[in-house]
Structure 1
Amino acid sequence: MHNKIETELETNIRYIESRFEGCADAVMRRILVGDEKLGMYVVYMDSMYDRDFIDGVVLKSLLFDRIQLPDQNAGQVIFNKYLATADVKETNRMEMLIDEVLKGNTAILIDGMAKAMIVSSKNLPGRGVSEAETEVSVRGSKESFTESFRVNTVLIRRRIRDTRLKSRQMTIGVRSKTDVALMYMEDLVRPEMLKQVIRKLESFKIDAILDSSYLESLTEEKWYSPFPQYQSTERPDKAASALLEGRIVLVVDNSPMVLLLPTVFACFFQASDDYYDRWDAANFVRILRYAAAFFAVLLPGMYIALAGFHPEALPLSFALSFAASREGVPFTLPVEVVVMELAFELLREAGIRLPGPMGSTLGIVGGLIIGQAAVDAHIVSPVVVILVALTALSAFTIPNDLFASAFRMIKFYFIAAASIGGFVGLTAAVLTVLTHLSGLKSFGIPYMLPFVSAEMAPKGKWQDNIWRMPLGKMYERPYFTRKGHRRRLRKEKKNDIR
């Protein structure tokens, strides 16, 4: 492979033109400077570079200023004198030159020099910083990440103005060459966890990384688990908060979602508003989320177990009401529940795919119409319609969509278990899920911390878990943080002022 840049300009030109053959958006220009004595070659990608800067500053100074070049080291003079105002770096590798051009930078080769100048001229099209859509907050920041790699790192850096915030940049993807930033607080992150993350990111080769979810799938420890082992967010304030807890943030170019790791079960029930609202109101809502998650995953299975297998456990009025509501329904109880659950899942998926207001309208109106029509036709009972609606509403209260999706899938597992064995089958299914969760880890951190592995969750483990303490009482950082650096709040004693 032709990897080194040659001193002969024509050799370099032939190789570059062969690599960019068929690339209509690649611009390659020959120019002569210094009374047309010195040949230069400029390469950039159309619509990916800053036209005003390259044409108006860099090339103008080379073409229209009266350049006096010495007979020797002319290229170095151009680099030091005429390109001094630009952000320029040198390279002697052809592959690096091509990679930089494909990123939107401009490469300049000079006859007689066995190296190229890479001028920072990246100006990629993209949307600006907008309001968060999937993690809406009443109070606090409204900003969200974008598809721009550098914008996303700046949004985090703006919130943590500390030199101990480190950013290690990597390039992943043989063809996409996607930039990935691994951000962490040097004094708070666990060194062994940082090494493990880097090792996993370097353990594979793939054609392209088109979104942060690719890294999630490629590096998670138990790929078969329905529970996400990364936490994703579109909010810069949430990413900054995670960094200050000793966690690692992965920023991926072209992705508006960043990854937070490690993560535990309790993290998925925490929303940004929990820390901006009063602690008592935040605790009420957080406990409500836990209750809603319980109903979202277990309510259909419990109904099948009670009404179908153990009606004697119900009060007589409830048992008679359930039996009366099922008169004329042709399906068995499990089939009835599954049919309605699948119908609501179809409505939810259709609502997501339809644009804008049409999607939400379909979800509400479609649910009402289908539910009422199914009851009138005696296909399902009114109790099942109410039950499925409560289950769907409960799932929507979970702040993280991936985590809510796991609950929706496990719900069908519990329905099947309850249909086979009633409460015995349901209890066995719950125990298998709890056993799986107890053995799950996210980069060495137990998923069910602090409920398991108490030695990893010392003092302060309950300050921000199922509930959170008032901000003035949250003295300790969570269990992700390196030992010896868990104190985050100290109250200074003031001298008496007289």
Structure 2
Amino acid sequence: MTILGDIVKVDKKLDVNVDWIMEELGVGQSFDVIRRDITLAGRRATLFYINGLVKDEIMTYILTSFSRLEEEDLTPNAFLQLYNKYVSYIQVEDVDDLHKAVDKIVCGEIALIVDGFNKVIAIDVRKYPARMPEESDLERVVRGSRDNFVETILFNANLLRRRVRDPKLRMEMLQVGSRSKTDVAVVYIKDIANPRLVDTIKEKIKAIKMDGLPMAEKSLEEFIGPGSFWNPFPRVRYTERPDVAAAHLLEGHVLVMVDTSPSVMILPATLFHHLQHAEEFRQAPLIGTFLRTVRFLGVAVSVFLPPLWLLVSLQPDLLPPDLSWIGPKKLGAIPLAVQFIFAEMGIDLMRMAAIHTPTALATALGLIAAVLIGEIAVAVGFFNPEVILYMAIAAVGIFATPSYELGMANTLVRIALLIGVGLFRLPGFVAVTLGTFLLLLTTKSFGLPYLWPLIPFNGSALKDIFVRPPVPLQKLRPRALHPLDLDRQPYPEPARKPLQREKRIWPQFMEDEDDNHEK
């Protein structure tokens, strides 16, 4: 056996290779690692595989074909004859490094080692446990597809290929984690996506030095996500819908898929990406615009309504006399600011309890929350009725936010506003609001300003944010992504001159972001 640094060359002696792999995989200690000795054309051979990750019927067929081989069938050029002619399967690869052979075994492939050959034949007959595509609980639509992403990366790739049948669609596979060896796919359309963005994402993924990614896409996001780790606003968008992912691919975005996760990351993403929902594009443009307007108002109300009511309750002079009825009719035993904080904690506690409560007990949980806690708390004077009302409205607005991550970030902003108003009244409200705006203003997602197209201002793009544009009018891709191909629809003759490609490459922002990224 020849060892060159981290490479362990395959030896021509079968026993040497088998002993090394058995020691590396712990054959005999791990019940699911299987070794199978066979005779192949008069030669000794050994198969290594993980029980439960291989397709039994295919391997039965291959072994049956091996049993018919005679010694004279593999002469001359025995390895090439076996590899090209008698291994009757599509996905086959030869490996000359035992480390790579072991990696393929633990990924679910079968390693065939034959005495006298200095290469291992890896047969990809993987069969991962997988559920059927089902509709996502987080991104339901009234009309639309119900086949959402699952935990198997190959299924997810097929769902995308079904919607984007473009030969330029690229799915580059990387592995992350020295022990977990998690499969990560970078997905983009070659002649649309900005190559600088694609290269930056791949470089950041390759630079990850970690033993594993047990939390899949979320762990990966914290490695490659730009900006401070403590910024609550999400810099990437998650989706479990292949139609949403395909739509972003055609705009010039890049997707990152992680095996074992049904969520796909969309890069880059602004604040307004997190406020869009597939339902808006499944309805007529006017109805979609109405749904989007209601959603925007709901998100704004969920953040600012409780703090503003608390502010005018603590400072009634801010209201004109004819609006004095907005304030509380009577004060409870606990200060209003503390009531809001307690109510906020109670809503979040109920939300977490609803996630962990079995479906059969969900109705009982709702009765406990509404009757035993809400009504009794008001009856005994622990809460003002208005506090319960406005916090309930805020909770509905948070649940109406399409992005779960943005909803949680808005919750933290609302809590900060409540604390600021409770301590400092109007100056506290203004200070927290300005601080949040400055945080949003300085946040970037892979070079894309988080408040685009509001800041920097782009009128036509901002109009498309608030008014759902009809599909025939969506002629251009977002310029902020700097796509190589800007046109989504062909223009009639005379065609206008395309932008020069060198002008579409992103400016020098990536290095600046890396310098500011917290280590």
TM-score by length of 1: 0.93
Write out per-residue CA displacement over residues 145-191 of structure 1, whole angstroms, 9 at most, x where no aligned residue.
Answer: 00111000110111011111111111111111111110111121122
Gaps in structure 1 of 5+ consecutive residues: 494-498
The answer to whether the Cα contact below 8 Å between 2:477 and 2:483 also exists between their aligned partners in 1 is: no
Distance 1:212 1:70 in 2: 47
Write out per-residue CA displacement over residues 215-235 of structure 1, whole angstroms, 9 at most, x where no aligned residue.
Answer: 111111221110000000000
Question: Is the partner of 1:464 in helix, strand or coil?
Answer: helix
Distance 2:348 2:82 in 1: 64
The answer to whether the Cα contact below 8 Å between 1:107 and 1:116 also exists between their aligned partners in 2 is: yes
Counterpart position of 1:201: 205
Higher mean C-alpha deviation, range 419-428 or range 152-161: 419-428
Distance 1:482 1:69 in 2: 57
- Out of 273, 281, 290, the residue aligned to residue 267 of structure 1 is 273
Distance 2:419 2:368 in 1: 29
Higher mean C-alpha deviation, range 113-122 or range 310-319: 310-319
Identity %: 26
Shift of 1:71: 5.6
Question: Is the partner of 1:260 in helix, strand or coil?
Answer: strand
Counterpart position of 1:324: 329
Q: Is 1:291 matched up with 2:294?
A: no
User: One-letter code of the match for 1:450?
Assistant: P
Q: Is 1:420 matched up with 2:423?
A: yes
Q: Is 1:377 matched up with 2:380?
A: yes
Shift of 1:431: 0.7
The answer to whether the Cα contact below 8 Å between 1:246 and 1:480 also exists between their aligned partners in 2 is: no
Distance 2:341 2:173 in 1: 47
Shift of 1:73: 3.5
RMSD: 2.0
Distance 1:229 1:75 in 2: 51
Write the mapping of 1:51-450 to structure 2, written as runs, cut at 5 A: 51-55=56-60, 57-64=61-68, 66=70, 68-70=72-74, 72-210=76-214, 211-222=216-227, 223-308=229-314, 310-316=315-321, 319=324, 322-326=327-331, 329-356=332-359, 358-359=361-362, 362-363=365-366, 365-450=368-453
Higher mean C-alpha deviation, range 397-406 or range 353-362: 353-362
The answer to whether the Cα contact below 8 Å between 1:4 and 1:92 also exists between their aligned partners in 2 is: yes
Higher mean C-alpha deviation, range 76-85 or range 411-420: 76-85
User: One-letter code of the match for 2:32?
Assistant: D
Structure 1 pair 468–70 and aligned structure 2 pair: CA distance change class (3 A): closer
Distance 2:325 2:271 in 1: 39
Question: Is the partner of 2:47 in helix, strand or coil?
Answer: strand
The answer to whether the Cα contact below 8 Å between 1:460 and 1:478 also exists between their aligned partners in 2 is: no
- Out of 12, 15, 20, the residue aligned to residue 25 of structure 2 is 20
Structure 1 pair 286–323 and aligned structure 2 pair: CA distance change class (3 A): closer
Write out per-residue CA displacement over residues 280-309 of structure 1, whole angstroms, 9 at most, x where no aligned residue.
Answer: 11111111111111111111211121101x
Write out per-residue CA displacement over residues 465-497 of structure 1, whole angstroms, 9 at most, x where no aligned residue.
Answer: 12222222222222344356222134769xxxx
Structure 1 pair 50–447 and aligned structure 2 pair: CA distance change class (3 A): same
Distance 1:24 1:437 in 2: 52
Question: Is the partner of 2:196 in helix, strand or coil?
Answer: helix
Distance 2:328 2:463 in 1: 46
The answer to whether the Cα contact below 8 Å between 2:309 and 2:327 also exists between their aligned partners in 1 is: no
Structure 1 pair 218–483 and aligned structure 2 pair: CA distance change class (3 A): closer
Structure 1 pair 318–357 and aligned structure 2 pair: CA distance change class (3 A): farther
Shift of 1:368: 4.1
The answer to whether the Cα contact below 8 Å between 2:454 and 2:462 also exists between their aligned partners in 1 is: no
Higher mean C-alpha deviation, range 388-397 or range 210-219: 210-219
Structure 1 pair 52–320 and aligned structure 2 pair: CA distance change class (3 A): closer
User: One-letter code of the match for 1:452?
Assistant: I
The answer to whether the Cα contact below 8 Å between 2:337 and 2:418 also exists between their aligned partners in 1 is: yes
Distance 1:5 1:321 in 2: 80
Question: Is the partner of 1:124 in helix, strand or coil?
Answer: coil
Gaps in structure 2 of 5+ consecutive residues: 1-5, 494-519
Structure 1 pair 479–355 and aligned structure 2 pair: CA distance change class (3 A): farther
Counterpart position of 1:477: 477
Structure 1 pair 490–50 and aligned structure 2 pair: CA distance change class (3 A): same
Structure 1 pair 208–364 and aligned structure 2 pair: CA distance change class (3 A): farther
Question: Is the partner of 1:461 in helix, strand or coil?
Answer: helix
Question: Is the partner of 2:464 in helix, strand or coil?
Answer: coil
Counterpart position of 2:488: 488
Question: Is the partner of 2:112 in helix, strand or coil?
Answer: strand
Distance 2:363 2:401 in 1: 18
Higher mean C-alpha deviation, range 348-357 or range 433-442: 348-357
Distance 1:157 1:466 in 2: 31
Question: Is the partner of 2:163 in helix, strand or coil?
Answer: coil
User: One-letter code of the match for 1:487?
Assistant: D
Structure 1 pair 352–483 and aligned structure 2 pair: CA distance change class (3 A): closer
- Out of 1, 5, 30, the residue aligned to residue 10 of structure 2 is 5
The answer to whether the Cα contact below 8 Å between 1:188 and 1:246 also exists between their aligned partners in 2 is: yes
User: One-letter code of the match for 1:250?
Assistant: V
Distance 1:316 1:445 in 2: 46
Counterpart position of 1:461: 461
Structure 1 pair 67–484 and aligned structure 2 pair: CA distance change class (3 A): closer
The answer to whether the Cα contact below 8 Å between 2:176 and 2:208 also exists between their aligned partners in 1 is: no
The answer to whether the Cα contact below 8 Å between 1:463 and 1:474 also exists between their aligned partners in 2 is: no
Counterpart position of 2:40: 33
Shift of 1:2: 6.4
Write out per-residue CA displacement over residues 405-437 of structure 1, whole angstroms, 9 at most, x where no aligned residue.
Answer: 100111110011111221221011111110110
Counterpart position of 1:496: none
Structure 1 pair 290–402 and aligned structure 2 pair: CA distance change class (3 A): same
Question: Is the partner of 1:244 in helix, strand or coil?
Answer: helix
User: One-letter code of the match for 1:165?
Assistant: L
Structure 1 pair 150–380 and aligned structure 2 pair: CA distance change class (3 A): same
Distance 2:260 2:142 in 1: 27
User: One-letter code of the match for 1:230?
Assistant: V
Distance 1:114 1:321 in 2: 83
The answer to whether the Cα contact below 8 Å between 1:269 and 1:400 also exists between their aligned partners in 2 is: yes
The answer to whether the Cα contact below 8 Å between 2:299 and 2:397 also exists between their aligned partners in 1 is: yes
